[in-house]
Amino acid sequence: MKVRRGSGARERGDSLELLLDTICNMFGTIIFVALIAALLALTSTSGRTESSLASIDVERDQQLETLVARAAELEEELAKLPAAGGAEIDPEAVERVESALGEIARREELIERYSAAVAAVTGNLKDIGAQVAPLREEIDRLQAALETARKAKDRIMRTPLEREIDRRTYTLVIWDDRVYPVCNWANRTPDVCALFEQWDDRYVVRAGCRLNGQCRGLNASGFTRTIPLRPGAGIPITDATALLRDPAFREVLAMLDPAQDLVLLDVAPDSFDTFSAVKEAVLGAGFSYTLSPCHAPLPVYKDSWIPGTPRGL
């Protein structure tokens, strides 16, 4: 049936338009509130990020200030030490001075690395985590070094006494801050003379090694040896702890016997500041040692053996 559209139909159309207008206004309000919430969340996240970066910068500056203050204290203590007079030079004092000079040079390099790291951190805050981790490792290593220095400072000084030690002598050449074991005594032969020719191919060139003269047994040998070393093949020297953890150096100590063997440290002029770590490691393993400056033009190492009982410390 056909329906007439009169005044009642217009009233219903006006009511529908008012309802649609109200619904649209409500959706607009909801969208506006959502935008405000998103902006507030972004602002809060940015604030927390800037706060974290600021705390990292403060911690880094505090650590750097601590290192600078410690360096100033060490310089003041060094300035207070009396100058050496005409007294006889203590070998252990010379060793400590050479070790200190090496540590000063290493720390100067460390300061340059810190400066570069700080500049990199300042220029690129996105990589702050990767930049800080190596610095923390170096700080831990410095704290361990300070603890070692503190123990050395409190150690009672004694005058080293050289004495005759009736043992077989095993040679370690210290060159270019590396240790070169010239012989391999893993398969120890009862022939004492043959021990001097059991070359270790990992560290020496066997084809160029030779022994001239006669060997007549323990402490009754008269001969010379020529031994070409392999440059860069030696065991690297950092400190005594790292050396004792090195598998290659532990293998050398394992094939020796503290009750039968005397370790000879033949030190090249370029390694006087690092041989103390080797000495400390050898003593820590229970061995006696003797010391000799190496005058051979390395990498061709030469030594001479004469009859007699070796002397060691």
- pTM (global) more than 0.75: no
Residue 10 lies inside a defined structural domain of this protein: no
Residue 290 lies inside a defined structural domain of this protein: yes
Looking at 116, 139, 159, which one is the last position of a domain? 159
Residue 1 lies inside a defined structural domain of this protein: no
Collapsing DSSP states into helix, strand and coil, what is residue 96? helix
Are residues 150 and 207 located together in one domain of the fold?
Answer: no
How many CB atoms neighbour CB 197 within 10 A? Answer: 17
Residue 206 lies inside a defined structural domain of this protein: yes
Are residues 147 and 190 located together in one domain of the fold?
Answer: no
Looking at 159, 183, 213, which one is the last position of a domain? 159
Are residues 70 and 187 located together in one domain of the fold?
Answer: no
Are residues 175 and 294 located together in one domain of the fold?
Answer: yes
Are residues 27 and 149 located together in one domain of the fold?
Answer: yes
Residue 7 lies inside a defined structural domain of this protein: no
Residue 82 lies inside a defined structural domain of this protein: no
Complete edge-to-edge strand list for the sheet that includes strand 235-236: 235-236, 178-181, 168-175, 261-267, 289-293
Q: Which residues contact 303 (CB under 8 A, 6 or more apart)?
A: 171, 224, 225, 227, 266, 296
Are residues 180 and 285 located together in one domain of the fold?
Answer: yes
Q: Residue 81 and residue 87: Cα distance in Å, rounded?
A: 15
**E strand segments, 134-233:** 163-164, 168-175, 178-181, 210-215, 221-228
Looking at 135, 159, 183, which one is the last position of a domain? 159
How many CB atoms neighbour CB 113 within 10 A? Answer: 13
Q: Residue 79 and residue 90: Cα distance in Å, rounded?
A: 20
Q: pLDDT digits over 38-71, tens only?
A: 777 666 655 565 666 677 777 777 888 888 888 8
Are residues 198 and 223 located together in one domain of the fold?
Answer: yes
Are residues 29 and 60 located together in one domain of the fold?
Answer: yes
How many separate domains does the chain show?
Answer: 2
Are residues 121 and 187 located together in one domain of the fold?
Answer: no
Nearest Cα to Cα of residue 203 among 242, 258, 252: 252
Residue 228 lies inside a defined structural domain of this protein: yes
Tokens of 198: 């059991």
Residue 3 lies inside a defined structural domain of this protein: no
Which residues span the domain enclosing 30?
19-77+92-159
**E strand segments, the chain:** 163-164, 168-175, 178-181, 210-215, 221-228, 235-236, 261-267, 289-293, 300-305, 311-312
Are residues 211 and 279 located together in one domain of the fold?
Answer: yes
Are residues 171 and 304 located together in one domain of the fold?
Answer: yes
Q: Note the pLDDT of residue 55.
A: 75
Q: Residue 78 and residue 228: Cα distance in Å, rounded?
A: 42
Written as tens digits, the pLDDT of the chain (313 aa) is 444 444 455 555 566 677 777 777 777 788 877 777 777 766 665 556 566 667 777 777 788 888 888 888 878 887 777 655 544 556 777 777 777 787 888 878 878 887 777 777 666 655 656 666 777 777 776 776 666 556 545 544 444 445 556 688 899 999 999 999 999 998 888 887 888 889 999 999 999 999 888 776 666 567 888 999 999 999 999 888 889 899 999 999 999 999 888 899 999 988 888 888 899 999 888 998 888 888 878 899 998 877 655 554 4
Are residues 197 and 109 located together in one domain of the fold?
Answer: no
